Amino acid sequence: NAGVTQTPKFQVLKTGQSMTLQCAQDMNHEYMSWYRQDPGMGLRLIHYSVGAGITDQGEVPNGYNVSRSTTEDFPLRLLSAAPSQTSVYFCASRRQRDNSPLHFGNGTRLTVT
Amino acid sequence: AQTVTQSQPEMSVQEAETVTLSCTYDTSESDYYLFWYKQPPSRQMILVIRQEAYKQQNATENRFSVNFQKAAKSFSLKISDSQLGDAAMYFCAYRSADGSGGSNYKLTFGKGTLLTVNP
């Protein structure tokens, strides 16, 4: 059982470049989300989705785009990378029922120079 | 907005001893969920334990247990018989149970406590 799979594990970008962080889950979870983790800040929600075709903004959405065309996939796009987006990114999913915990991918460490 | 505070940036414990990590939260809601996640150096986020606010009984999972004090808005994690593999960053997290307005879609994290286990 793969769970939540994120690719790539590491990425270095130059300022202004674009890229897509991939996330896929095989647990048929309705809810998927992206968090960023910065030193001393904990994890903060970027975007989330409650099902195919439905997305919404989290706490820190600026500079990021998402789409949810299938239940399994939830990619995160950086359109024009900035040094402030240097961070570790986590994709997470869960069932919609209330007490279901988040299942996390292994994270992507992104550096923007 | 809800906030989660972990007042201990770092803690250390001797192997086989017990340690308690503190977490307090601020909310005006009566129904919610609380979680402790562990993040070892591998960076993976691992669920340790969860608590539903409507349950008075404290959750336990093997060597891990919580002291949930709803009135005090406190949710501490106790690790008994500490092992070297328990060394990690521990995050406390809060999620609303209120489905209106999408507030139950966000997990609010504390800033974490780095636990060191000494042999």
* Inter-chain residue contact B111 with A42, CB threshold 8 Å: yes
Above 90 in pLDDT, residue B17?
Answer: yes
> Which of B77, B114, B116, B38 has the alpha carbon at shortest distance from A39?
B114
Per residue in B60-73, pLDDT (tens digit) is 999 999 999 999 99
> Which of A11, A28, A29 has the alpha carbon at shortest distance from A20?
A11
Per residue in A5-31, pLDDT (tens digit) is 999 999 999 999 999 999 999 999 999
**Rounded Cα distance, A11 and A111, in Å:** 6
The residue-averaged pLDDT of B70-82 equals 97
pLDDT for residue B99: 66
Per residue in B45-55, pLDDT (tens digit) is 999 999 999 98
**Rounded Cα distance, B92 and B1, in Å:** 16
Q: What is the mean pLDDT of chain A?
A: 94
B52 contact A CB<8A: yes
pLDDT band at B100 (very low <50, low <70, confident <90, very high): low
Q: What are phi and psi of A85, to 5 degrees?
A: -95, 5
Of residues A56 and B102, which shows the higher confidence score?
Answer: A56
Above 90 in pLDDT, residue A101?
Answer: no
How close, in Å, is residue B110 to chain A by CA atoms?
A: 6
B68 contact A CB<8A: no
Q: What is the mean pLDDT of chain B?
A: 93
* Inter-chain residue contact A92 with B104, CB threshold 8 Å: no
Q: Which chain A residues are within 8 Å of B110, Cβ to Cβ?
A: 42
pLDDT band at A57 (very low <50, low <70, confident <90, very high): very high
Task: Output DSSP code: residue A73.
Answer: B
Above 70 in pLDDT, residue A58?
Answer: yes
Above 70 in pLDDT, residue B101?
Answer: no
pLDDT for residue B106: 85
Closest chain B residue to the Cα of A39, Cα to Cα = B111
**Rounded Cα distance, A3 and B29, in Å:** 32
